Amino acid sequence: MCGIIGYFGKEEALPILVNGLEALEYRGYDSAGVAVFLEGEVKVKKSVGKVEILKKSLKNNFCSGSHLGIGHTRWATHGIPNKSNAHPHSDCQGRIFVVHNGIIENYKELKSYLQKQGHNFKSETDTEVVPHLIENFLNSGKDFDIALFDTLRMIKGAYALVIIDKENPKILYAARLSSPLVIGVGKNENFLASDPSALIGKTKNVVYLNDGEIAKISQNDINIINLKKKKTPYEIVHLGWDLEQAQKGDFPHFMLKEIFEGPEVVRAAFRGRIKSKENLVKLGGLEKVADQLKEVKRLLILACGTSYYAGLVGEYLFEEISRLPTETHFASEFRYRDEPFDKNTAVIAISQSGETADTLAAIQKAKKHGLMTLGIVNTVGSTVARETDAGVYNHAGPEIGVASTKAFLSQLTVLIMMAVYLSKNKNSSKKLLEELEKIPKKIEIILAQSAKLEKLAEKYKNYKNFLFLGRRYNYPVALEGALKLKEISYIHAEGYGAGEMKHGPIAMITENFPTMAIIPQNSVSEKMISNLEEIKARKGPIFAITTEENKEISSLTKDIFYIPKTIEPLEPLLTIVPLQLFAYYIGTKKGFDVDKPRNLAKSVTVE
Ligand code: G6P
């Protein structure tokens, strides 16, 4: 949350900062601001709301000719979204300019200490203590580097910081602790960003800062030091992402573009990794722990949001295919539980961004207990990828829409392959792998019928509440379908296991409370039909996602969307797609910005 961009190089800084902020806007869009250095001065511009508003305010060649600057788009934590709380923040003298992502937990005590020293604060943010603390150390005669070190030592919490010192415009400073920050390495130019996606089109070479590292960046040089003031080596990671992947193309929204990327995302996840004829799954990222994996007796899947729901599908997959007892937990709950561990348990952390704070904390806890940790991660080189012992990349390309869609399909594909990889009885997997290869074409069939979903969205868009029901593999799909509708259209939606519906939610059912039923013909569809009869008997409208083989459903509703048939463990790869489209169409019909839903952020780097 909160997007950070920094630039020092041969080009005009401001357009690069604004482009970067636009690319990072999914991280927060409560307010935005820039600070640029030009001819001995630092000029600051801030605005409330989206980056577009900031862009409009930067008229009349604001600071043209500058080659050094920082920018920020905010997801408010401390203080309402207004201009004074917008970043960059500065010290009393107007020498130090800071953008920050994370939370400074001890800011209250630091602030009152600094106020007693005579510092004048202009915002309610936690961030503002940083420039004042540096200033305080400078006032006591320390040089800038030492003042910055001492400041970082006093701060508790999480930070990604990028700092301009007006008195030394030859260096752009950056520091990281538990909040992501990446350096983009260019020719005669260097960048800083909270997410590599902001650098697409500028450079494909990045350096991820580690916790406790400080970077000093100039146009041609990168120096990284740790809090012990020792120079640390760094590795340049090459990103395979292309510019088109980060652009909407002919689509009106990233969300729609990313839903339509579904077939390719599934192909990209299994390409070169499965050989269905030989029942073979090859996951290079797991090779180094292959022997250890043979000893694993239990799996724990840890994740947040949509990745958590993919993990819930994983629970069914690992149990059925790998015959491994598996539990999926919210990372935010796992980190504070006090459960006994067995050393033969392995943890699988799932994260699109690879930077989610709760997921990272859960990994740390698992490591502390000596458990092997594996990652399913989309962002190459991200913190989850680096912190886990081994893992599998999604190769889904950048996901820009805040509500996750294509990453879910990709995560499911990787989980299916991992389940086969961990299975002791590989012979039973041939059919599953053959079917997996057919999934992209089947998703294409669903996408080709999107107009039908748009029509149904028109019919259903004014309801205030929805119940989503599924059983077995489609129970997590019901949860994810409800989440999508909530995120995008702000309609209250609840996902439930269909069998559990009679223990509570049925009390809500009236003719104004529709049910989205995920009911392909399978081992539990008969059971679900009975649950839907109970809904029909209470006049609840039903919208069913089903397969042609299911003949009974037409006696319960006329609102039916047919998907192609597949085997049960693979059904979520198909059943989720119409639900993503349904949420998209309802959200857009209601006039909402579906790519940037209110109050949400794509990468949640605070607890
Ligand atoms: C946020 C996003 C969700 C995402 C979740 C987990 O809440 O809005 O779309 O599923 O974080 O993110 P991760 O990057 O760890 O998968």
Tens digits of per-residue pLDDT, 271-289? 999 988 888 899 999 999 9
**Residue 214: its pLDDT value, please?**
97
Cα–Cα distance measured from residue 319 to residue 423, given in angstroms and rounded to the nearest whole number: 10
**Residue 25: its pLDDT value, please?**
82
Which atom of ligand 1 lies closest to the CA of 356?
Answer: 15
Task: Please compute the mean of the pLDDT values over residues 418-430 and round it to a whole number.
Answer: 86
The finding on whether 605 has its CB within 6 A of some atom of ligand 1 is: no
Task: Please compute the mean of the pLDDT values over residues 402-430 and round it to a whole number.
Answer: 92
pLDDT over threshold 90, residue 200? no
Cis before residue 88, ω within 30 degrees of 0?
Answer: yes
Q: Can you give the pTM of this predicted structure?
A: 0.83
The phi and psi torsions of 188 (rounded to 5 degrees) equal 55, 25
Task: Please compute the mean of the pLDDT values over residues 123-146 and round it to a whole number.
Answer: 96
The finding on whether 580 has its CB within 6 A of some atom of ligand 1 is: no
In words, the CATH class of domain 448-607 is alpha beta
The residue whose C-alpha atom lies closest to atom 7 belonging to ligand 1 is 305
pLDDT over threshold 80, residue 605? no
- Furthest CA-CA distance within the chain: 82
> Which of the four pLDDT bands, split at 50, 70 and 90, describes residue 186?
very high
Task: Please compute the mean of the pLDDT values over residues 356-383 and round it to a whole number.
Answer: 94
> Which of the four pLDDT bands, split at 50, 70 and 90, describes residue 196?
confident
Average pLDDT taken over every residue of the chain: 93
Q: Which CATH architecture has domain 248-437?
A: 3-Layer(aba) Sandwich (3.40)
pLDDT over threshold 80, residue 137? yes
* DSSP bridge partners of 377: 351, 393
Radius of gyration of the chain (CA): 25
The finding on whether 110 has its CB within 6 A of some atom of ligand 1 is: no
Cα–Cα distance measured from residue 118 to residue 131, given in angstroms and rounded to the nearest whole number: 14
Cα–Cα distance measured from residue 99 to residue 94, given in angstroms and rounded to the nearest whole number: 14
Domains 3-244 and 248-437 fall in the same CATH topology: no
Catalytic sites, residue numbers: 2, 602
**Residue 269: its pLDDT value, please?**
97
> Which of the four pLDDT bands, split at 50, 70 and 90, describes residue 430?
confident
Task: Say how many Å lie between the CA of residue 351 and the centre of ligand 1.
Answer: 7
**Residue 201: its pLDDT value, please?**
87
Which atom of ligand 1 lies closest to the CA of 384?
Answer: 15
To test the pocket of ligand 1, the residue of 258, 351, 356 to mutate (highest count of ligand atoms within 8 Å of its CB) is 356
To test the pocket of ligand 1, the residue of 75, 353, 596 to mutate (highest count of ligand atoms within 8 Å of its CB) is 353
The finding on whether 560 has its CB within 6 A of some atom of ligand 1 is: no
User: What single string gives the DSSP state of each residue in 441-497?
Assistant: HHHHHHHTTHHHHHHHHHHHTT-SEEEEEE-TTHHHHHHHHHHHHHHHH--EEEEEE
The finding on whether 305 has its CB within 6 A of some atom of ligand 1 is: yes
**Residue 543: its pLDDT value, please?**
98
In words, the CATH class of domain 3-244 is alpha beta
The finding on whether 403 has its CB within 6 A of some atom of ligand 1 is: yes
Q: What are the tokens at 60?
A: 């009349």
Question: What angle do the packed helices 430-447 and 406-421 form, to 10 degrees?
Answer: 170
Task: Say how many Å lie between the CA of residue 229 and the centre of ligand 1.
Answer: 35
To test the pocket of ligand 1, the residue of 25, 308, 603 to mutate (highest count of ligand atoms within 8 Å of its CB) is 603
User: What single string gives the DSSP state of each residue in 324-386?
Assistant: --EEEEEHHHHTT------TTEEEEEEESSS--HHHHHHHHHHHHTT-EEEEEESSTT-HHHH
Query: Of 65-79, 116-130, 153-167, 532-546, which range is least confident?
Result: 65-79
Q: What are the tokens at 257?
A: 């573009």
pLDDT over threshold 80, residue 428? no
pLDDT over threshold 90, residue 247? no
- As separate numbers, helices (DSSP H) first and strands (DSSP E) second, the chain gives 18, 26
The finding on whether 402 has its CB within 6 A of some atom of ligand 1 is: yes
Percent of the residues in the chain that have a pLDDT greater than 70, as a whole number: 99
For the chain, give every domain's residue range.
3-244, 248-437, 448-607
